A = this chain, B = another copy of it.
Amino acid sequence: MAKHDTPLLDELESGPWPSFVTDMKRQAEKNPDCWDILGQLELSFRDKITHWKHGGIVGVFGYGGGIVGRYSDVPEQFPGVEHFHTVRVNQPASKYYSTENLRHLMKLWDKHGSGMTNMHGSTGDIILLGCRTEALEPFFWDLTHELGQDLGGSGSNLRTPANCLGQSRCEWSCYDTEEACHHLTMHYQDEIHRPAFPYKFKFKFSGCANDCVAALARSDFAVIGTWRDDIRIDQAAVKEYVAGNIVSNGGAHAGKDWGAFDIQKEVIDLCPTECMWMEGDELKIDNAECTRCMHCINVMPRALRPGAEQGASICIGAKAPILDGAQFATLIIPFIKVSAENEFENVIDVIENVWDWWMEVGKNRERVGETMQRVGLPTFIKVMGLDPLPQHVKEPRSNPYVFWSDEEVPGGFDRDVDEFRKRHAA
Tell me the bound Cα distance from A400 to B322 in angstroms: 10
Interface size on A, as a range, is 10 to 19
Counting CB contacts under 8 A, is A150 at the interface? no
Among candidates B51, B326, B398, B426, residue contacting A398 with C-beta atoms closer than 8 Å = B326
- Per-residue contact bits, chain A 51-70, to B (CB 8 Å; 1 contact, 0 not): 10110000000000000000
- Per-residue contact bits, chain A 381-414, to B (CB 8 Å; 1 contact, 0 not): 0000000000000000011110000000000000
Contacts of A54 in B (CB 8 A): 426
Query: B399 near A321 (CB under 8 angstroms)?
Result: yes
Counting CB contacts under 8 A, is A75 at the interface? yes
Tell me the bound Cα distance from A423 to B426 in angstroms: 74
Query: B321 near A47 (CB under 8 angstroms)?
Result: no
Query: A399 near B325 (CB under 8 angstroms)?
Result: yes
CB-based nearest B residue for A420: B49
Contacts of A398 in B (CB 8 A): 325-326
Query: B399 near A53 (CB under 8 angstroms)?
Result: no
Counting CB contacts under 8 A, is A424 at the interface? yes
CB-based nearest B residue for A321: B399
Tell me the bound Cα distance from A399 to B324 in angstroms: 9
Query: B325 near A424 (CB under 8 angstroms)?
Result: no
Q: Which A188-230 residues have a C-beta within 8 angstroms of B? A: none
Query: A399 near B51 (CB under 8 angstroms)?
Result: no
Tell me the bound Cα distance from A321 to B47 in angstroms: 52
Tell me the bound Cα distance from A426 to B400 in angstroms: 53
Counting CB contacts under 8 A, is A425 at the interface? yes
Query: A424 near B326 (CB under 8 angstroms)?
Result: no
Contacts of A423 in B (CB 8 A): 47, 73-74
Contacts of A321 in B (CB 8 A): 399-401
Contacts of A425 in B (CB 8 A): 53, 73-75
Tell me the bound Cα distance from A86 to B401 in angstroms: 29
Query: B426 near A53 (CB under 8 angstroms)?
Result: yes
Tell me the bound Cα distance from A400 to B323 in angstroms: 11
CB-based nearest B residue for A74: B425
Contacts of A424 in B (CB 8 A): 49, 51, 53, 73-74
Contacts of A49 in B (CB 8 A): 424
- Report A36 CB to chain B, min CB distance, Å: 15
- Per-residue contact bits, chain A 314-344, to B (CB 8 Å; 1 contact, 0 not): 0000000100011000000000000000000
- Report A328 CB to chain B, min CB distance, Å: 11
Q: Which A34-57 residues have a C-beta within 8 angstroms of B? A: 47, 49, 51, 53-54
From A53, A75, A425, name the one whose CB has the most chain B CB atoms within 10 angstroms. A425
Q: Contacts A53-B426, A424-B51 known; A326 to B73 CB distance under 8 Å?
A: no
CB-based nearest B residue for A425: B73
Tell me the bound Cα distance from A424 to B73 in angstroms: 5
- Report A234 CB to chain B, min CB distance, Å: 30
Tell me the bound Cα distance from A51 to B74 in angstroms: 79
Tell me the bound Cα distance from A423 to B424 in angstroms: 76
